[in-house]
Homo-oligomer: A and B are copies of this chain.
Amino acid sequence: MSKIETNQKYFQLAKIFIEKVPFNQVIGLELKHISSERCEIGFGMKPELIGNFYQKILHGGVVATTLDSVSGSMAAVGLLEKHAFPEDEEFAERIKKLGTIDMRIDYLQPGRGEFFTASAKLLRVGNKVAVTRSELHNENGEIIALGTATFLVG
């Protein structure tokens, strides 16, 4: 497949991987972009995502969910590239084994905004473990949180 075809295939797969997941639908996550280098998802503010009485800001758990999802999708791409894009059944087998080992979230600023974008990149994919870094920004480009996550891929 060409690079463009590969990225289109990633997009189709990641769209399902992200948008069909029930809890991601609760938040309203939408895939924006995916390639070997970067995954990006977005969502809009809505009342049920609020985590603080006094201020209209995102719950820390919404931030965590979003960073977990964008990071996991990026790790899935890493896993696919490592194995030269396996056929569909093997793909499904591999993705089933993908699991978050641990994640750190740094909350840099209150989650204030109308639209949020989470992006992730892959720092390393080994035979057993993948490591990602991710960020959440609001529509003004202000950074809200950082994530660092480790995934089991083998």
Which residues of A approach B to under 8 Å, CB–CB? 20-27, 47-55, 59-62, 64-66, 68-69, 72, 92, 96, 99-110, 123-124, 128-129, 131, 133, 143, 146, 148, 150, 152, 154
Contact A51 B64 (CB under 8 A): no
Tally of this chain's copies? 4
Complex alpha-carbon distance, A66 and B131, angstroms: 20
Chain B, residue nearest A108 (CB): B124
Complex alpha-carbon distance, A154 and B83, angstroms: 20
Chain B, residue nearest A26 (CB): B48
Please name all residues of chain B whose beta carbon is closer than 8 Å to the beta carbon of A131 when the two chains form the complex: 102, 106, 108, 146
Partner of A60, one of B54, B103, B108, B152: B103
Of A65, A102, A103, most buried by chain B (CB within 10 Å of CB) is: A102
